[in-house]
Amino acid sequence: MDSRQQFLKTVNHRQPDRVVIDMGSTGVTGIHVLAVEKLRNYFGLEKRPVRVTEPYQMLGEVDPELQQAIGIDVVGAWGKNNMFGIYNQAPFKPFKTFWGQEVLVPENFNTTLDAKGDLLVYPEGDTTVAAAAKMPQSGYFFDAIIRQPPIDEEKLDPADNLEEFGLVSSGDLDFWATATRNARATGKAVIASLGGTALGDIALVPGLQLKHPKGIRDVAEWYMSTVVRPDYIQAVFDRQVDIAIENFRRLYEVIGDNIDAVFICGTDFGTQESTFCSPEQFDELWLPYYRRINDWVHLHTPWKTFKHSCGAVETFMGHFIAAGFDIINPVQINARGMDPALLKKKYGRELVFWGGGIDTQKTLPYASPSEVRREVLRLCEIFSKDGGFVFNTVHNIQANVPVENLVAMIDALKEFNNQ
């Protein structure tokens, strides 16, 4: 059976012939550009600069050559612009990173250095406005720069936090029609990050693509607002979901079944030890809006819906199910209460676990290759029973993971799949 058939069995909780593998299809299941280059070199692929697909986290393109070498089953359909609002398609230009790697970035990916020598990047590549993010000289990805103006409670307007959420244009529809058609032609399963459904995702709250973001754009202020300004947050979510559903209606007309899953939201609800809010607050503030989106998708399309949340969210799993999500990622098995066997037993009949295949905080970067192998085999054994498991690491593969460990992970997958 081909990759898509295996995927469809997996996400419909039927036992596939092998574990389905994703590395690189989304902004939360990707591989840092440096790790991509290491893998390309290991597999003896053509030496050329790696294209940056997502510059905020400096994720690299996993092209068809590398997909085949790894054994990947899922590809992503990515948007026209990146997180900084820069056109993310050809032509590309070379860019030298702080760690000495030459990569490819979009033509309008314009940067400067600040007084400390840190790298600044700009919304839409416009260096005449304030920088949106900064990469320290010792860093491997960008951090958002908060550009929130002083808040005047009397003038707070939910419309200011909706500036980036508008109806898709005819040009966007044409782009998505082509992007998803090309992705479908690979014969692999396809997940699309269509945008517009991120309810309070703190990676997006600062408005990295906006030249002059208005509203509540400070991450800490946004978190506090969920408690002290819930009416404001609900007004943002309510209008955002109206727009999102109308966009999905328009997009489905041109995409159809060229995708199998849709990335809905990357809002994190967990820390390493606990959650950001109570389940009751989740049910009141987020669940109704998630439910509206997921219900529309399930009623009108064959797509599965994908929810990302890091952290210790075992107590939220039932609430994610009630909100209508089909898939949970990254399955942070190293957080409190996130025991793989418990998760599979309690929620495995209703949730697809997309991730959790290896601990990326300790095992993958610091353990021995033999320890990596053992952990991959153990977790595949737990999660793969009766389907419902797409292998991915716990969040993105970071820059300085030893290539020996990456290869041990890939070899363990092939061993488990009898390949």
Q: How far apart are CA 353 and CA 349, in angstroms?
A: 10
Q: How far apart are CA 168 and CA 196, in angstroms?
A: 10
Q: Does residue 101 fall inside a structural domain?
A: no
Q: Does residue 126 fall inside a structural domain?
A: no
Q: How far apart are CA 340 and CA 100, in angstroms?
A: 38
Structure confidence at residue 153 (pLDDT): 93
Neighbours of 213 (CB within 10 A): 23
Structure confidence at residue 308 (pLDDT): 98
Domain span at 401: 3-92+148-416
Q: What is the CA radius of gyration of the chain?
A: 21
Q: Does residue 175 fall inside a structural domain?
A: yes
Q: Does residue 127 fall inside a structural domain?
A: no
Number of domains in the chain: 1
Counting beta carbons within 10 angstroms of the beta carbon of residue 243, is it exposed (0 to 12), middle (13 to 18) or buried (19 or more)? middle
Q: Does residue 100 fall inside a structural domain?
A: no
Q: Does residue 108 fall inside a structural domain?
A: no
Q: Does residue 119 fall inside a structural domain?
A: no
| CATH number of the domain where residue 181 is located | 3.20.20.210
pLDDT per position as a tens digit, 133-187: 999 999 999 999 999 989 999 999 999 999 999 999 999 999 999 999 999 999 9
Amino acid making up residue 244: A
H/E element holding 38? helix 33-42
DSSP secondary structure letters along 226-276 = HHH-HHHHHHHHHHHHHHHHHHHHHHHHHHGGG-SEEEEE----B-SSSBS
Q: Does residue 300 fall inside a structural domain?
A: yes
**pLDDT by residue for the chain (419 residues), tens digit each?**
599 999 999 999 999 999 999 999 999 999 999 999 999 999 999 999 999 999 999 999 999 999 999 999 999 999 999 999 999 999 999 999 999 999 999 999 999 999 999 999 999 999 999 999 999 999 999 999 999 989 999 999 999 999 999 999 999 999 999 999 999 999 999 999 999 999 999 999 999 999 999 999 999 999 999 999 999 999 999 999 999 999 999 999 999 999 999 999 999 999 999 999 999 999 999 999 999 999 999 999 999 999 999 999 999 999 999 999 999 999 999 999 999 999 999 999 999 999 999 999 999 999 999 999 999 999 999 999 999 999 999 999 999 999 999 999 999 999 999 98
Structure tokens at 249: 């209606």
Structure confidence at residue 1 (pLDDT): 57
Q: How far apart are CA 393 and CA 356, in angstroms?
A: 6
Q: How far apart are CA 235 and CA 241, in angstroms?
A: 10
Structure confidence at residue 419 (pLDDT): 85
Q: Are the beta carbons of 118 and 143 closer than 8 angstroms?
A: no
